[in-house]
Amino acid sequence: MIKPKALVKEDRVAIVSLSSGLLGEPYAKHQLELGVKRLIDFGLEPVIMPNALKGIDELQKHPEWRAEDLKSAFRDSSIKGIICAIGGDDTFRLLPYLMEDKDFKQSVQSNPKLFTGFSDTTINHLMFHRLGMVSFYGPNFLNDLAELGEDLLPYTKRIFSGYFERNELKGVPESEHWYEERSDFSEKALGSERIKHKETRGIEVLQGKGKVSGKLLGGCLESLVDCLVGDRYANEVETIKEYNIFPTLDEWKGKVLFLETSEERPSPERLRDLLTVLKDYGLFAAVSGILMGKPQDEVYIEEYKQVIVEVIGNTEMPILYNLPFGHAYPRCILPYGIEAIVDTQVETVTFNESYFL
């Protein structure tokens, strides 16, 4: 895998809206300003790409505008990192504009850059994995950097600092607290703190013994399933197949699979259906170990355990549960294609190699 360089102070970082155009809506202006300030506080120079603020309706109609911002960020040698504004549900529509552009693909491979985001951004990560570049399933602009409290969540600050030179993380740190999702993102919520809870569970071993290792690969469960069955858009599966975005079973062999559920908080029955799609594909028979993220707000956190074990159906498969990544707060980073060690005895995930050049 081609690795990006770590960020350093005064680096320019691009903000892109590759899925939802929410960042450009007037009601999100206070979040935009706050996120920009936070990046400046980190010593970075934020660059809002030209189409990133054109709003939900316009960006929904024009996936080519979204793709152009990503291509422009890679063409610009002064830009060292790329931060997704937020997720959404139709990032796959960018694929023809990106995967059919030889110059873009060459730019990714010859000039890799730090790329971070989660949720529907899973599709972008799978694209970069196909192109051979390490990317990061981690914080995005609106959900993390534009946190409405007086400061970033302490865990978020620690994790985002891991994108900087000499601050590289060695694995997945546990968090002392977990935080509830907000119901109010309006300007009047500025300065209000998230409801927090003591993290009493920590990382849990659902099953398995000893250590396994493998390169990290995965993402949002719903997005991965959509690659195979396409519930939301009629042409999604065909597009994913055309550009060979979803890894083949051979490519899944020996990987450490990470999965997390979205803000839709699927019922245990829905979770069973989603996991069964991946099982039928052969995924669980191919990977070496599985990491499951904390469900948002701990909804169904106990009920999910039985479903996961029953669907996977292999009692020897090491499964760690309740990790801080994905749609729960706070969230760590998981670098695609980096060798990780899953240790069930001490309930840890460590990176067995650097994720930077």
Task: Classify residue 145 by its DSSP letter.
Answer: I
* Other beta carbons less than 10 A from residue 267's beta carbon: 14
* Percent of the chain clearing pLDDT 70 (strictly above): 100
Concatenating the DSSP letter of every residue in 32-88 gives HHHHHHHHHHTT-EEEE-TTTTSHHHHHHH-HHHHHHHHHHHHH-TTEEEEEE----
Calpha distance 193→184 (Å, rounded): 11
Task: Classify residue 300 by its DSSP letter.
Answer: T
pTM of the complete model? 0.98
Taking 90 as the threshold, does the pLDDT of residue 231 lie above it? no
* pLDDT tens-digit map of 69-124: 999 999 999 999 999 999 999 999 999 999 999 999 999 999 999 999 999 999 99
Nearest CA-CA partner of 290 in 333, 256, 265: 256
Pairing mode of beta strands 339-343, 211-220:
antiparallel
Q: Give the list of residues 6+ apart from residue 321 with CB closer than 8 angstroms, or none.
A: 203, 204, 205, 206, 292, 304, 305, 308
Task: Classify residue 295 by its DSSP letter.
Answer: P
Q: CB burial class (10 A; 0-12, 13-18, 19+) of residue 142?
A: buried
CB-CB contact of 286 with 257 (8 Å)? no
* pLDDT tens-digit map of 138-193: 999 999 999 999 999 999 999 999 999 999 999 999 999 999 999 999 999 999 99
Domains of the chain (ranges plus CATH)? 12-161 (3.40.50.10740), 200-351 (3.50.30.60)
Crossing angle between the packed helical segments 102-110 and 63-75, to the nearest 10 degrees = 40
Average predicted confidence (pLDDT) for the chain = 98
CB-CB contact of 342 with 220 (8 Å)? no
